[in-house]
Amino acid sequence: MDNSPYILVIGGTNMDVGARPFGPLLPHDSLPGTVRRTPGGVGRNIAVTLAQLGHKVKMLTAVGNDADGRELLALGREIGLDLSHAMVLDGIPTSSYIFVEDNKGDIQWAVCDASASDQIDAEYISLNAELIRGAAAVLLDTNPPVNAIACAAKIASEAGVPLFVDPISAAKASKIKKILPYITVLKPNKMEAETLSGRPILTMADAEEAVIALLGTGVQQVFLTLGKKGVVVGAQGQEIQRLPGFALHPVNTSGCGDAFVSAVIHAYLQGDDLKDMARAGVAAASISMETKSAVNPILTAEALSERLKLV
């Protein structure tokens, strides 16, 4: 039996469809551009990146028993993900994420059909409780229902397993309000932090206040990402810190947040301090944005170390 340390990712596996026009977006019109179909889902993107960074990764996720689901499972296994505990559902389609970017690569609109992820319920989590208890760290996204999120957070907390949470979107961020005291590391973006803190973020000072408010709920560490403006980070008993954003050859920003949190987990497990965890996140995000895919295949531990020399 392989008893080597592993990271457990609980969350969504989607098939992404992205569209980008050649010119400016115009409402109520059909525009020439490109459409691409790629594997996605925040949980899956993070799992794949963690595997590329050299970690053993297991997933609790769900796909439909359809062409997309079979393709996603096969691709995941090819790159080393342990998907032996994934649910394969009859009669329910694999979750999908449709997004439209502007001609610079920034997402403007997106819709997620989380049909399969909605089936990741508390019963499924409870049946796999030992996987949570045995993990070196757990990453939880907010695609599963509230009862599953609460169940996973409680098991991780009681077992003393570090819990990392990506709120995914402002619409889904409210799912984690009741588990904030269980969270080791929370990585919201601006809109998600506004939802969770209950305050608008218009300035960097507002961002710092939002981080302080989230720490006040019991979260141990907060990494508030602000796109080009960088990241505001805070931890219990420490001063709030800011790091600037960083980009070399930006092509696409759709997977930057997933890369950021993956690198933060990687750095945490290496024993890095708060600032170096944030630097790793910024460096990984800069590598992520250099490809049109949600996960940049060159984002390895070696590539991250090289990029960190520039951050």
Alpha helix (H) ranges present in 103-145? 122-127, 129-133
pLDDT along the chain (311 residues), means of 10: 88 93 91 92 96 98 97 96 97 93 85 92 98 98 97 98 96 96 98 97 97 98 95 96 90 88 98 97 95 90 96 89
pTM for this model (two decimals):
0.93
pLDDT at residue 275, as a whole number: 96
pLDDT at 27 (0 to 100): 87
Helix H or strand E segment including 204: helix 204-215
Q: Where are the domains of the chain?
A: 7-12+41-69+118-308
The DSSP string of 78-105 is: HTT-B-TT-EEETTSPPEEEEEEE-TTS
pLDDT of residue 112: 86
Residue 54: how many other CB atoms lie within 10 Å: 11
Contact 48, 74 (CB under 8 A): no
3.20.20.150, 3.40.50.2300, 3.40.1190.20, 3.30.420.40: which CATH number matches 7-12+41-69+118-308? Answer: 3.40.1190.20
